[in-house]
Structure 1
Amino acid sequence: MESASPWTDRLSPSLEDFERLGQEAFDGLPEAFRSLCDDVQITVAENADKDVLKSLDLKSPYELLGLFQGIGMAQGATEIRTGQMPNHIWLYRRAILEYWIEHEETLDTIVRHVLIHEIGHHFGLSDDDMETIEAEAD
């Protein structure tokens, strides 16, 4: 008798699975790094909303894997301002899954990369800064 495929009982990772992956990625970061992110909320959503996509001039929600919203540390995040919302990192499940399908990386590696990238924005780094750092690390 032929055995069942290992995929017959598996479903696409849920929002809860992504929250767990994001938390595991965050917990795996060095303590010194994590301690600077105490005020940052991390949330998983299916996709970026239309207002976010429009503000970034993006046509498709699959173009955005994650997003930092708030005031970065270099821009004065440590100063308390009236009405200031907490800094927020979004991880977008559908875009990350689409990226995962098209690349030879594990899902947890991708989630970790996106999370670290968005935390970099919390520290005030630009996309160009992070690309330079990643290139130098390779």
Structure 2
Amino acid sequence: MTDETALWAASLPPDATVFEGVVARTLATLPAPFGQAAAHIAVQIDDFAPDAMLAELGIENPFELTGLYSGIPLTEKSVMEQPMEPDTIWLFRRPILDEWVARGDIELGALIAHVFIHELAHHFGWSDGDIATIAPWQD
């Protein structure tokens, strides 16, 4: 066995725990009051989006969806309407890993953080300019 083969022989793809760690570190870097407000949003990490979600969005290839915000954006919330489910940010592990490999020009943690921040932007009603100011992203 070569040194390179030995190096990769015990390697496994990053699991949901790795993604959770990146989300936690990303939340910790958000300026107040965003970090505190974002901490109340549920985060769901799955390998792929559920079939019903893909169908509702009209997406046939599950690799096309890396993340999704489900909930009512803060800019549209009303005290008169109570949500049926908690605001949730979904991160889809396999499509994110696939994009990471296909790009080959970004660290995995940065890509996970980017997808998370993009979905968080839907919750807060941020524009692309807001995202660049609040949570800078470098392409």
- TM-score tier by shorter-chain length is 0.7 to 0.9
2:68 counterpart SS class: strand
Query: What is the CA-CA distance between 1:30 and the residue it aligns to?
Result: 2.0
Query: What is the CA-CA distance between 1:25 and the residue it aligns to?
Result: 1.9
* Native 8 Å contact 1:39 1:86 kept in 2: no
Is it true that 1:60 corresponds to 2:61 in the alignment? yes
Aligned in 2, Cα 1:57/1:18: closer, same or farther, shift over 3 Å? same
Counterparts of residues 1-138 of structure 1 (less than 5 Å): 3-4=3-4, 5-76=6-77, 79=79, 81-82=81-82, 84-103=84-103, 104-125=105-126, 129-130=127-128
* Native 8 Å contact 2:29 2:35 kept in 1: no
Deviations 1:22-50 (A, max 9, x none): 22222222232212224311111110011
Aligned in 2, Cα 1:121/1:83: closer, same or farther, shift over 3 Å? closer
* Native 8 Å contact 2:27 2:38 kept in 1: no
1:7 counterpart SS class: helix
What RMSD in Å do the two structures reach over aligned CA positions?
Answer: 2.5
Whole-angstrom distance in 1 between the partners of 2:40 and 2:80: 11
> Which is worse superposed, 19-28 or 59-68?
19-28
Runs (4+) off by over 4 Å: 131-134
Query: What is the CA-CA distance between 1:115 and the residue it aligns to?
Result: 0.6
Q: What are structure 2's unaligned runs of at least 5 residues?
A: none
Query: What is the CA-CA distance between 1:67 and the residue it aligns to?
Result: 0.5
Query: What is the CA-CA distance between 1:90 and the residue it aligns to?
Result: 0.5
* Native 8 Å contact 1:65 1:114 kept in 2: yes
> Which is worse superposed, 101-110 or 17-26?
17-26
Query: TM-score, with normalisation over the residues of structure 1?
Result: 0.82
Q: What are structure 1's unaligned runs of at least 5 residues?
A: none
Which has the larger helix fraction?
A: 2
Counterpart code for 1:90: W
Whole-angstrom distance in 2 between the partners of 1:132 and 1:41: 22
Q: Percent sequence identity over matched residues?
A: 29
* Native 8 Å contact 1:25 1:111 kept in 2: no
Query: TM-score, with normalisation over the residues of structure 2?
Result: 0.81
